[in-house]
Amino acid sequence: TVTGKGYRPHTIDLGRWKFVASAGALGILTLMVIMPIVMLFLISILPYYHVPTLETIQLATLKHYAYIFKSDRVYRAIGNSLFLAVSGATAAMFLAALTAYITVKTKVFGRGILEGLTFLPWAFPSTALAIGLLWGYVKIPLPIYATIWILLIAYVTRFLPYGLRSVTSTIVQIHRELEEASRACGGGFWTTLRRILFPLMRPGLIAGWILLATIFMREFSLSLFLYTPSSEPVGPLLYFLWLDGLTGPLGALGILVSLVSAILVAVARRYSRISG
Protein backbone atom coordinates (compact mmCIF):
# COMPACT_ATOMS: atom_id res chain seq x y z
CA THR A 1 0.00 0.00 0.00
CA VAL A 2 1.28 3.47 -0.90
CA THR A 3 1.00 5.44 2.34
CA GLY A 4 2.83 8.26 4.02
CA LYS A 5 5.39 5.77 5.27
CA GLY A 6 8.13 4.72 2.92
CA TYR A 7 9.43 1.23 2.35
CA ARG A 8 12.59 -0.26 0.94
CA PRO A 9 12.23 -2.85 -1.84
CA HIS A 10 14.60 -5.80 -1.77
CA THR A 11 15.64 -8.46 -4.24
CA ILE A 12 15.49 -12.20 -3.71
CA ASP A 13 18.81 -14.01 -4.05
CA LEU A 14 18.27 -17.16 -6.12
CA GLY A 15 21.82 -18.34 -5.63
CA ARG A 16 22.85 -20.98 -8.14
CA TRP A 17 19.27 -21.19 -9.43
CA LYS A 18 19.58 -17.78 -11.08
CA PHE A 19 21.20 -19.38 -14.14
CA VAL A 20 18.35 -21.89 -14.44
CA ALA A 21 15.77 -19.12 -14.07
CA SER A 22 17.55 -16.97 -16.66
CA ALA A 23 17.77 -19.87 -19.11
CA GLY A 24 14.09 -20.67 -18.62
CA ALA A 25 13.04 -17.06 -19.15
CA LEU A 26 15.23 -16.79 -22.26
CA GLY A 27 13.81 -20.05 -23.63
CA ILE A 28 10.22 -18.89 -23.16
CA LEU A 29 11.03 -15.52 -24.72
CA THR A 30 12.63 -17.25 -27.71
CA LEU A 31 9.71 -19.62 -28.32
CA MET A 32 6.92 -17.10 -27.78
CA VAL A 33 8.38 -13.88 -29.21
CA ILE A 34 11.68 -14.14 -31.07
CA MET A 35 11.01 -17.26 -33.16
CA PRO A 36 7.61 -16.14 -34.57
CA ILE A 37 9.04 -12.72 -35.49
CA VAL A 38 12.08 -14.31 -37.17
CA MET A 39 9.85 -16.66 -39.18
CA LEU A 40 7.56 -13.79 -40.16
CA PHE A 41 10.58 -11.82 -41.36
CA LEU A 42 11.87 -14.78 -43.39
CA ILE A 43 8.48 -15.21 -45.04
CA SER A 44 8.48 -11.52 -45.93
CA ILE A 45 11.80 -11.70 -47.80
CA LEU A 46 11.40 -15.07 -49.56
CA PRO A 47 9.92 -15.09 -53.08
CA TYR A 48 7.40 -17.82 -52.21
CA TYR A 49 6.22 -19.62 -49.09
CA HIS A 50 8.41 -22.56 -48.08
CA VAL A 51 10.57 -23.77 -45.22
CA PRO A 52 13.59 -21.44 -45.22
CA THR A 53 17.05 -22.93 -45.53
CA LEU A 54 20.53 -21.50 -45.91
CA GLU A 55 20.34 -22.02 -49.68
CA THR A 56 17.00 -20.29 -50.15
CA ILE A 57 18.11 -17.26 -48.13
CA GLN A 58 20.17 -16.36 -51.20
CA LEU A 59 16.86 -15.73 -52.99
CA ALA A 60 15.89 -12.99 -50.54
CA THR A 61 13.94 -10.14 -52.08
CA LEU A 62 12.22 -6.95 -51.00
CA LYS A 63 9.45 -7.14 -53.59
CA HIS A 64 6.85 -7.94 -50.94
CA TYR A 65 7.72 -4.77 -49.05
CA ALA A 66 7.51 -2.83 -52.32
CA TYR A 67 4.05 -4.31 -52.87
CA ILE A 68 2.96 -3.22 -49.40
CA PHE A 69 4.31 0.32 -49.67
CA LYS A 70 2.60 0.85 -53.03
CA SER A 71 -0.83 -0.17 -51.73
CA ASP A 72 -3.23 2.60 -50.71
CA ARG A 73 -5.28 -0.02 -48.88
CA VAL A 74 -2.35 -0.76 -46.59
CA TYR A 75 -1.80 2.90 -45.73
CA ARG A 76 -5.50 3.34 -45.03
CA ALA A 77 -5.61 0.23 -42.82
CA ILE A 78 -2.55 1.27 -40.80
CA GLY A 79 -3.95 4.78 -40.39
CA ASN A 80 -7.27 3.39 -39.17
CA SER A 81 -5.55 1.03 -36.75
CA LEU A 82 -3.34 3.81 -35.37
CA PHE A 83 -6.38 6.03 -34.85
CA LEU A 84 -8.24 3.23 -33.08
CA ALA A 85 -5.19 2.34 -30.97
CA VAL A 86 -4.42 5.87 -29.78
CA SER A 87 -7.93 7.27 -29.38
CA GLY A 88 -9.46 3.99 -28.21
CA ALA A 89 -6.82 3.36 -25.56
CA THR A 90 -7.09 6.96 -24.35
CA ALA A 91 -10.89 6.83 -24.11
CA ALA A 92 -10.83 3.42 -22.43
CA MET A 93 -8.28 4.49 -19.80
CA PHE A 94 -10.26 7.66 -19.04
CA LEU A 95 -13.39 5.59 -18.43
CA ALA A 96 -11.36 3.02 -16.49
CA ALA A 97 -9.85 5.69 -14.22
CA LEU A 98 -13.26 7.25 -13.60
CA THR A 99 -14.83 3.88 -12.81
CA ALA A 100 -11.93 2.82 -10.58
CA TYR A 101 -12.10 6.06 -8.60
CA ILE A 102 -15.86 5.72 -8.07
CA THR A 103 -15.67 2.07 -7.01
CA VAL A 104 -12.58 2.36 -4.79
CA LYS A 105 -12.51 5.90 -3.40
CA THR A 106 -16.20 6.73 -2.99
CA LYS A 107 -19.24 5.25 -1.31
CA VAL A 108 -21.65 6.06 -4.12
CA PHE A 109 -24.69 3.80 -4.15
CA GLY A 110 -24.49 1.22 -6.92
CA ARG A 111 -20.73 1.42 -7.41
CA GLY A 112 -20.55 -2.39 -7.32
CA ILE A 113 -23.19 -2.55 -10.05
CA LEU A 114 -21.13 -0.10 -12.11
CA GLU A 115 -18.07 -2.34 -11.86
CA GLY A 116 -20.15 -5.39 -12.75
CA LEU A 117 -21.59 -3.69 -15.83
CA THR A 118 -18.08 -2.77 -16.92
CA PHE A 119 -17.07 -6.43 -16.91
CA LEU A 120 -20.34 -7.67 -18.46
CA PRO A 121 -19.17 -7.43 -22.13
CA TRP A 122 -16.29 -9.74 -21.25
CA ALA A 123 -18.83 -12.55 -20.75
CA PHE A 124 -19.85 -12.43 -24.41
CA PRO A 125 -17.83 -13.75 -27.36
CA SER A 126 -16.38 -11.01 -29.53
CA THR A 127 -18.48 -12.11 -32.50
CA ALA A 128 -21.72 -11.96 -30.48
CA LEU A 129 -20.85 -8.52 -29.13
CA ALA A 130 -20.02 -7.29 -32.64
CA ILE A 131 -23.34 -8.53 -34.05
CA GLY A 132 -25.21 -6.93 -31.14
CA LEU A 133 -23.53 -3.58 -31.77
CA LEU A 134 -24.05 -3.94 -35.51
CA TRP A 135 -27.82 -4.34 -35.25
CA GLY A 136 -28.12 -1.99 -32.30
CA TYR A 137 -26.65 1.02 -34.09
CA VAL A 138 -28.70 0.39 -37.24
CA LYS A 139 -31.75 1.71 -35.37
CA ILE A 140 -30.01 4.60 -33.60
CA PRO A 141 -30.25 7.91 -35.55
CA LEU A 142 -26.58 8.74 -35.09
CA PRO A 143 -23.80 8.74 -37.73
CA ILE A 144 -22.06 5.72 -36.17
CA TYR A 145 -23.19 2.70 -38.19
CA ALA A 146 -20.76 1.73 -40.98
CA THR A 147 -18.12 4.19 -39.75
CA ILE A 148 -14.88 3.87 -37.83
CA TRP A 149 -16.68 5.11 -34.71
CA ILE A 150 -18.58 1.86 -34.28
CA LEU A 151 -15.21 0.07 -34.23
CA LEU A 152 -13.98 2.50 -31.57
CA ILE A 153 -17.07 1.89 -29.42
CA ALA A 154 -16.74 -1.87 -29.85
CA TYR A 155 -13.06 -1.89 -28.88
CA VAL A 156 -13.60 0.23 -25.77
CA THR A 157 -16.65 -1.78 -24.72
CA ARG A 158 -14.92 -5.12 -25.16
CA PHE A 159 -11.54 -4.37 -23.59
CA LEU A 160 -12.41 -1.79 -20.93
CA PRO A 161 -12.00 -4.45 -18.18
CA TYR A 162 -8.28 -4.68 -19.03
CA GLY A 163 -7.81 -0.99 -18.36
CA LEU A 164 -10.02 -1.08 -15.27
CA ARG A 165 -7.98 -3.84 -13.66
CA SER A 166 -4.74 -2.01 -14.41
CA VAL A 167 -5.95 1.23 -12.81
CA THR A 168 -7.78 -0.43 -9.91
CA SER A 169 -4.68 -2.35 -8.85
CA THR A 170 -2.86 1.00 -8.67
CA ILE A 171 -5.48 3.19 -7.05
CA VAL A 172 -6.32 0.64 -4.37
CA GLN A 173 -2.74 1.03 -3.06
CA ILE A 174 -3.11 4.78 -2.53
CA HIS A 175 -3.96 5.25 1.13
CA ARG A 176 -6.65 7.73 2.08
CA GLU A 177 -4.27 9.56 4.44
CA LEU A 178 -2.50 11.13 1.45
CA GLU A 179 -5.76 12.70 0.30
CA GLU A 180 -6.55 13.79 3.84
CA ALA A 181 -3.12 15.41 4.16
CA SER A 182 -3.72 17.33 0.94
CA ARG A 183 -7.08 18.60 2.13
CA ALA A 184 -5.59 19.51 5.52
CA CYS A 185 -3.10 21.72 3.68
CA GLY A 186 -5.92 23.51 1.86
CA GLY A 187 -5.99 21.47 -1.34
CA GLY A 188 -9.40 21.03 -2.93
CA PHE A 189 -10.68 18.01 -4.84
CA TRP A 190 -9.12 18.97 -8.17
CA THR A 191 -5.81 19.93 -6.56
CA THR A 192 -5.69 16.60 -4.73
CA LEU A 193 -6.55 14.77 -7.92
CA ARG A 194 -3.93 16.62 -9.97
CA ARG A 195 -1.09 16.75 -7.44
CA ILE A 196 -1.60 13.53 -5.47
CA LEU A 197 -3.82 10.93 -7.10
CA PHE A 198 -2.95 11.34 -10.77
CA PRO A 199 0.86 11.15 -10.34
CA LEU A 200 0.46 7.98 -8.25
CA MET A 201 -2.03 6.52 -10.73
CA ARG A 202 0.18 7.32 -13.74
CA PRO A 203 2.07 3.97 -13.82
CA GLY A 204 -1.18 2.02 -13.92
CA LEU A 205 -2.69 4.37 -16.48
CA ILE A 206 0.29 4.14 -18.81
CA ALA A 207 0.60 0.36 -18.41
CA GLY A 208 -3.09 -0.05 -19.23
CA TRP A 209 -2.82 2.36 -22.16
CA ILE A 210 0.10 0.44 -23.67
CA LEU A 211 -1.73 -2.88 -23.25
CA LEU A 212 -4.92 -1.59 -24.86
CA ALA A 213 -3.12 0.23 -27.68
CA THR A 214 -1.27 -2.93 -28.72
CA ILE A 215 -4.51 -4.95 -28.56
CA PHE A 216 -6.43 -2.38 -30.62
CA MET A 217 -3.62 -2.20 -33.17
CA ARG A 218 -4.14 -5.81 -34.27
CA GLU A 219 -7.71 -6.64 -33.11
CA PHE A 220 -9.52 -8.96 -35.53
CA SER A 221 -12.75 -10.60 -34.29
CA LEU A 222 -14.74 -7.42 -33.68
CA SER A 223 -13.31 -5.71 -36.75
CA LEU A 224 -14.34 -8.48 -39.14
CA PHE A 225 -18.04 -7.86 -38.48
CA LEU A 226 -18.02 -4.08 -38.16
CA TYR A 227 -15.56 -2.64 -40.67
CA THR A 228 -16.31 -1.09 -44.04
CA PRO A 229 -13.87 -0.53 -46.94
CA SER A 230 -13.15 2.99 -45.67
CA SER A 231 -12.67 1.90 -42.04
CA GLU A 232 -10.79 -1.36 -42.58
CA PRO A 233 -8.10 -1.88 -39.89
CA VAL A 234 -5.03 -4.08 -40.12
CA GLY A 235 -6.55 -7.27 -38.66
CA PRO A 236 -9.02 -8.03 -41.47
CA LEU A 237 -6.48 -6.96 -44.10
CA LEU A 238 -3.98 -9.53 -42.83
CA TYR A 239 -6.71 -12.17 -42.91
CA PHE A 240 -7.66 -11.45 -46.52
CA LEU A 241 -4.03 -11.44 -47.60
CA TRP A 242 -3.80 -14.96 -46.17
CA LEU A 243 -7.00 -16.05 -47.97
CA ASP A 244 -5.61 -14.70 -51.24
CA GLY A 245 -2.41 -16.69 -50.77
CA LEU A 246 -0.26 -13.57 -50.55
CA THR A 247 1.97 -14.91 -47.79
CA GLY A 248 4.91 -12.69 -48.72
CA PRO A 249 2.97 -9.41 -48.45
CA LEU A 250 1.29 -10.86 -45.36
CA GLY A 251 4.69 -11.31 -43.70
CA ALA A 252 5.85 -7.86 -44.80
CA LEU A 253 2.72 -6.21 -43.42
CA GLY A 254 3.05 -8.22 -40.21
CA ILE A 255 6.61 -6.95 -39.72
CA LEU A 256 5.51 -3.39 -40.51
CA VAL A 257 2.65 -3.54 -37.99
CA SER A 258 4.99 -4.99 -35.38
CA LEU A 259 7.40 -2.09 -35.91
CA VAL A 260 4.59 0.47 -35.66
CA SER A 261 3.34 -1.14 -32.45
CA ALA A 262 6.86 -1.21 -31.01
CA ILE A 263 7.32 2.50 -31.81
CA LEU A 264 3.96 3.27 -30.21
CA VAL A 265 4.94 1.43 -27.04
CA ALA A 266 8.40 3.08 -26.98
CA VAL A 267 6.88 6.55 -27.29
CA ALA A 268 4.43 5.82 -24.48
CA ARG A 269 7.17 4.49 -22.22
CA ARG A 270 9.38 7.47 -23.05
CA TYR A 271 6.55 9.82 -22.13
CA SER A 272 6.03 7.99 -18.85
CA ARG A 273 9.70 8.49 -17.93
CA ILE A 274 9.69 12.17 -18.88
CA SER A 275 6.41 12.97 -17.13
CA GLY A 276 7.39 10.89 -14.11
- For the four alpha carbons of 246, 247, 248 and 253, in that order, the dihedral sign comes to positive
Asked if 85 contacts 152 with a C-beta cutoff of 8 angstroms, the reply is no
Q: What are the residue ranges of helices labelled H in the chain?
A: 17-29, 35-45, 63-69, 72-105, 111-119, 126-136, 148-171, 176-184, 189-192, 198-218, 221-226, 234-243, 247-275
Right CATH number for 69-275 from 3.40.50.2300, 1.10.3720.10, 2.30.40.10, 1.25.40.420? 1.10.3720.10
Q: What percent of the chain has pLDDT over 90?
A: 30
Q: Is the per-residue pLDDT at 145 higher than 60?
A: yes
- Looking at the DSSP bridge assignments, the partners of residue 174 are 2
Q: At residue 198, what are phi and psi to the nearest 5 degrees?
A: -60, -45
For 170-209, b/e burial (b = at least 16 CB within 10 A) is bbeebeeeebeebeeeebeeeebeeebbeeebeebbbbbb
Are 257 and 175 contacting, i.e. CB atoms less than 8 angstroms apart? Answer: no
What dihedral angle (degrees, nearest 10) is formed by the CA atoms of 162, 236, 221, 256?
A: -30
Q: What is the pTM of this model?
A: 0.83
pLDDT at site 136 = 86
Does residue 140 or residue 153 have the better pLDDT? Answer: 153
For range 53-80, the mean pLDDT: 88
Angle at the Cα of 10 from the Cα atoms of 4 and 11, rounded to 5 degrees: 150
Q: Count of alpha carbons within 13 Å of 95, Cβ hemisphere only?
A: 22
Query: What is the average per-residue pLDDT within 164-189?
Result: 78
Helix (H, G, I), strand (E, B), or coil: what is residue 6? coil
Whole-number Cα distances in Å, 143 to 137, 139, 148, 174, 259: 9, 11, 10, 41, 33
Domain limits, the chain: 13-61, 69-275
**Closest alpha carbon to 194 in 95, 274, 275:** 275
* Mean pLDDT along residues 202-226: 89
Report, in angstroms and rounded to the nearest whole number, the Rg of the chain calculated over CA atoms: 23
Provide the pLDDT for residue 207: 87
Report d(CA 190, CA 139) in Å as an integer. Answer: 39
Report the pLDDT value the prediction gives residue 8, as an integer from 0 to 100.
59
CA distance 73 to 230: 9
User: In this structure, is the dihedral angle defined by the CA atoms of residues 141, 145, 149 and 152, taken in order, positive or negative?
Assistant: positive
User: Among 26-40, 180-194, 242-256, which is the least confidently predicted range?
Assistant: 180-194
3-state SS, residue 174 = strand
CA distance 185 to 182: 5
